[in-house]
């Protein structure tokens, strides 16, 4: 009699498990069937907000559901990441991730780490450049490095915020080149440009979209780009790598979901984002902001990029004394 009872219980458990699997499969097949909530950590009108809203234009038509973009500011994305961890891993909560968010994770400002996220797509890749004034004493990156080696903390680099991508770019390059710079923080690229032209700093850390106007006017010029290959728009400007400094830095923006999101849903999102970003509307956005098609990464390439950058941020934040825990 006991054997029959045990068999009956096992049978019920098997049916329950099968029903669960079928229910999950059906949910994946119907995805998305309701509103998708997309969170960003920065203010309206900023770079991440514009990127997200531009990508969402075609995405809504492709997925055929409402996509609501909301700002959840606080702690360079830490509040947004903690919120994401508390939501179901079902593809209805997606978040924009940037350098600053990865930095907040590396500093321990959020419960999230690289192991808690899955990359959907990268949509922006804006190279970091070291820019000098046309009237300044430095004309090449080699001159900056040589002077910096002989005169510690005498080369002034203007950066937007300490502990961010600008700071990290100078830290990693100076470490590779063997000199110690002086960092001068500003609120943004506009202030850096003004102080660079005014002679208060020697070098500005900027993206092409930030300095192009003054470059075309002949007031400033880039001396190095921290990318792997020379930019088509600046064929005469060397990269850090070709000078022997394997440092790659850019302002990038992309989209993630919570780890554990079912693979079919991740696949559907990745395909939808790729289709959206290939559309003329998004391609025009890239072109207008001086970014190329290499900005777009999806799937395993985007995952690999995030995992490559993670240890760099973790190590740098410790070296710079920003690690919280």
Q: Which CATH number belongs to the domain containing residue 285 in this structure?
A: 3.40.190.150
Region of 300 on the Ramachandran plot (φ > 0 left; ψ -120 to 50 alpha; else beta): alpha
Asked, for residue 230, whether it belongs to a domain, the answer is yes
- pTM score, two decimals? 0.84
Asked, for residue 153, whether it belongs to a domain, the answer is yes
Asked, for residue 14, whether it belongs to a domain, the answer is no
Asked, for residue 9, whether it belongs to a domain, the answer is no
Does the pLDDT value for residue 28 go beyond 70?
no
Integer Cα distance of 32 and 7 in angstroms:
39
Is residue 98 domain-shared with residue 135, that is, in the same domain?
A: no
Integer Cα distance of 286 and 125 in angstroms:
9
pLDDT per position as a tens digit, 215-243: 999 999 999 999 988 998 899 999 999 99
Cα dihedral 276, 280, 282, 287 sign = positive
Is residue 135 domain-shared with residue 230, that is, in the same domain?
A: yes
Integer Cα distance of 164 and 154 in angstroms:
21
- The rounded radius of gyration (Å) of the Cα atoms in the chain is 23
pLDDT per position as a tens digit, 187-199: 889 999 999 999 9
| Residue 46, pLDDT score | 83
- 221, 243, 265 — which closes off a domain? 243
Is residue 51 domain-shared with residue 82, that is, in the same domain?
A: yes
pLDDT band at 13 (very low <50, low <70, confident <90, very high): very low
The token pair that represents 294 in the structure block: 């290499």
Residue pair 84/261 in contact by the 8 Å Cβ criterion: no
Q: Mean per-residue pLDDT for 258-275?
A: 98
Question: Chain-wide mean pLDDT for the chain?
Answer: 90
Does the pLDDT value for residue 71 go beyond 50?
yes
Is residue 121 domain-shared with residue 37, that is, in the same domain?
A: yes
| Residue 195, pLDDT score | 96
Q: At what angle do helices 189-198 and 208-216 cross, to 10 degrees?
A: 40
Residue 279 parent element (H or E): none
pLDDT band at 325 (very low <50, low <70, confident <90, very high): low
DSSP 27-39: HHHH---SPEEEE
β-strand partners of 160: 186
- Between CA 9 and CA 18, with CA 12 as vertex, the angle to 5 degrees is 140
Q: Mean per-residue pLDDT for 272-278?
A: 96
Integer Cα distance of 192 and 186 in angstroms:
6
Is residue 237 domain-shared with residue 290, that is, in the same domain?
A: no
Lowest mean pLDDT segment, chosen from 23-32, 250-259, 263-272, 288-297:
23-32
More confident residue, 14 or 127: 127
- 243, 263, 287 — which closes off a domain? 243
| Residue 7, pLDDT score | 45
Asked, for residue 324, whether it belongs to a domain, the answer is no
Does the pLDDT value for residue 270 go beyond 80?
yes
Q: Which range of residues forms the domain containing residue 170?
A: 129-243
| Residue 209, pLDDT score | 84
Q: Mean per-residue pLDDT for 132-152?
A: 97
Q: What share of the chain is helix, strand, coil (3-state, %, to 5)?
A: 50, 20, 30
| Residue 19, pLDDT score | 42
Is residue 144 domain-shared with residue 111, that is, in the same domain?
A: no
Asked, for residue 189, whether it belongs to a domain, the answer is yes
Does the pLDDT value for residue 307 go beyond 60?
yes
Nearest to 120 by CA among 294, 257, 292, 252: 257
| Residue 23, pLDDT score | 44
Asked, for residue 69, whether it belongs to a domain, the answer is yes
Is residue 297 domain-shared with residue 217, that is, in the same domain?
A: no
Is residue 149 domain-shared with residue 80, that is, in the same domain?
A: no
Asked, for residue 25, whether it belongs to a domain, the answer is no
Is residue 117 domain-shared with residue 134, that is, in the same domain?
A: no
Is residue 145 domain-shared with residue 234, that is, in the same domain?
A: yes
Chain position carrying tokens 């984002």: 273
| Residue 167, pLDDT score | 95
- 178, 212, 243 — which closes off a domain? 243
Q: Mean per-residue pLDDT for 99-104?
A: 93
If one counts the domains in the chain, the total is 2
pLDDT band at 73 (very low <50, low <70, confident <90, very high): confident
Is residue 53 domain-shared with residue 187, that is, in the same domain?
A: no
| Residue 187, pLDDT score | 87
Label residues 286-323 b or e (16+ Cβ within 10 Å = b). Answer: beebbbeeebbbbbeebbebbeebbebbbebbeeeebe
| Residue 220, pLDDT score | 97
Q: Which CATH number belongs to the domain containing residue 198 in this structure?
A: 3.40.190.10
DSSP letter for 35, please.
P
At 37 the three-state DSSP class reads: strand
pLDDT band at 75 (very low <50, low <70, confident <90, very high): confident
Name the percent of the chain lying above pLDDT 90: 78
Is residue 136 domain-shared with residue 220, that is, in the same domain?
A: yes
The token pair that represents 137 in the structure block: 């004493």
The three-state DSSP-derived secondary structure of 220-252 is: EEEEEECCCCCCCCCCCCCECHHHCCCCCCEEE
């Amino acid at each position: 009699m006991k054997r029959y009872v045990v068999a009956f219980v096992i049978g019920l458990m098997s049916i329950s498990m099968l029903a669960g699997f079928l229910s999950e499969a059906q949910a994946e097949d119907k995805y998305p069937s309701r509103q998708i909530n997309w969170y960003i950590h920065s203010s309206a009108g900023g770079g991440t907000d514009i990127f997200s809203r531009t990508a969402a234009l075609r995405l809504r038509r492709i997925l055929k559901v409402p996509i609501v973009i909301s700002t959840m500011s606080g702690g360079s994305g830490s509040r947004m990441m903690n919120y994401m961890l508390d939501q179901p891993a079902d593809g209805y909560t997606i978040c924009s991730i940037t350098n600053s968010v990865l930095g907040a994770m590396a500093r321990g400002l959020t419960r999230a780490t690289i192991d808690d996220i899955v990359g959907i797509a990268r949509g922006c890749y804006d190279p970091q450049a070291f820019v000098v004034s046309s009237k300044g004493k430095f004309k090449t990156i080699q001159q900056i490095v040589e002077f910096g080696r002989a005169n510690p903390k005498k080369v002034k680099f203007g950066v937007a915020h300490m502990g961010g991508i600008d700071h990290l770019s100078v830290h990693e390059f100076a470490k590779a080149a063997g000199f110690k710079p002086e960092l001068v923080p500003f609120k943004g690229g506009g202030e850096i440009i003004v102080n660079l032209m005014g002679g208060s700093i020697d070098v500005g850390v900027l993206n092409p979209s930030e300095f192009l106007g003054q470059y075309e006017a002949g007031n400033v010029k880039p001396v190095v780009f921290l990318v792997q290959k020379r930019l088509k728009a600046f064929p005469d400007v060397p990269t850090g790598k070709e000078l022997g400094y394997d440092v790659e830095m850019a302002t990038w923006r992309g989209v993630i979901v919570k780890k554990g999101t079912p693979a079919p849903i991740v696949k559907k999102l990745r395909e939808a984002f790729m289709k959206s970003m290939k559309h003329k509307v998004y391609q025009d956005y890239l072109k207008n902001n001086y970014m190329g098609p290499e900005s777009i990464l999806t799937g395993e390439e985007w995952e690999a990029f995030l995992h490559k950058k993670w240890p760099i941020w973790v190590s740098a934040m410790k070296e710079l004394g920003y690690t919280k825990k």
